Amino acid sequence: MRPAIVASTLIALTTGAHAADPVALEASRDYLVGFGLVSSAPHLGSDVDQRLRLRPIWAFQLGRFRFATSGASALLSQGRKTVDSGVSTELAGNDTWSLSTSLAIDDKRSWKDDAVFRGLPDVRATLRGRVAANAAIGKEKRWTYSVRASQDLLGRGGGLRLDQGLSYRHPVSKQTHWDLSLGAGWANRTHRQTYYGIDPASAAATGLPAYAIGSGWDSVSLGWRITSALSHHWVAYGGVSVAQLQGAAARSPLTGRKIAYGATVGIAYRN
């Protein structure tokens, strides 16, 4: 899938959706600001110890478009339909399903401070275009299936990823619910070679073994999160997660810990 084709598709879908539904263009000024205390590894497969950090969260919606950090969109809407972090917009949907598209930045990864892998080419930051679909399952709509395709639009080795998930929402009260989610991720050869592969030139320069990797399923994850509206404006949340690398990605010389744990707690204000 060529980056130019993906970018054109995202623009066409967004433009078409706007033209089809002018009512949705009415200005909306919803926003959310807060902070979360997060314990996690830098990324899945990292050999670096868990880090505890305070991270700001925010979301702002202007008409059809939403700008948000990871996880903030769900806190702002408090509904079943969630959208991605970054800049996003919903293309179509109702109370049962939704189709959305988004743009977000993938952070870079550098090996210069790593004594073992120093000399390997850095993974450059890039812009990813994403299309996501969600569908509620069952009469009570407590189950939700989601699938998301994301493509590196700048051709910096990010490649194509497909992530799918199944989640269950249990209402504790009108103000509180918890979610249990299971996910699995697939990536094409370009993505996996960038993040888990070592080309022959890099192997010769560093003394590491060359490692070629093709496309395939590379991760599974399990998460639990509770969210509660403390008042009309204040919302609190907390959760735990675990993710595991699979197959050839887990066997890569670049992979440290194959299992990553995470925990977060936070509070936010919304208008």
> pLDDT confidence of 41, banded at 50, 70, 90?
confident
> pLDDT confidence of 62, banded at 50, 70, 90?
confident
pLDDT of 141 higher than 60: yes
Structure tokens given for 222: 């399990």
> pLDDT confidence of 50, banded at 50, 70, 90?
confident
Q: What are phi and psi of 54, to 5 degrees?
A: -95, 125
pLDDT of 186 higher than 70: yes
Structure tokens given for 166: 């199944």
Helical residues (DSSP H) of 153-267, grouped into ranges: 189-196, 200-206, 247-250
> pLDDT confidence of 5, banded at 50, 70, 90?
very low
> pLDDT confidence of 81, banded at 50, 70, 90?
very low
pLDDT of 34 higher than 50: yes
> pLDDT confidence of 73, banded at 50, 70, 90?
low
Lookup result for tokens 């990324």 = 43
Among 53-62, 63-72, 101-110, 182-191, the range of highest mean pLDDT: 182-191
> Which CATH number fits the domain that encloses residue 149?
2.40.230
* CA gap 94, 90 in Å, rounded: 10
Exposure on the CB side of residue 208, measured as CA atoms within 13 A: 23
Do 142 and 194 touch, CB atoms closer than 8 A? no
pLDDT (tens digit, 9 = 90+) per residue, 147-172? 999 999 999 999 999 999 999 999 99
Q: Please measure the distance between the N-terminal and C-terminal CA atoms of the chain and give it in whole angstroms.
A: 40
- Average the pLDDT over each of 48-52, 136-140, 183-187, 254-258 and give the range with the smallest value: 48-52
pLDDT (tens digit, 9 = 90+) per residue, 199-234? 999 999 899 999 999 999 999 999 999 999 999 889
Q: Which domain holds residue 181?
A: 3-270
| Per-residue pLDDT, 19 | 42
- Domains: count for the chain: 1
Mean pLDDT of 15-39: 64
| Per-residue pLDDT, 261 | 95
Angle, alpha carbons 115-121-124 (nearest 5°)? 115
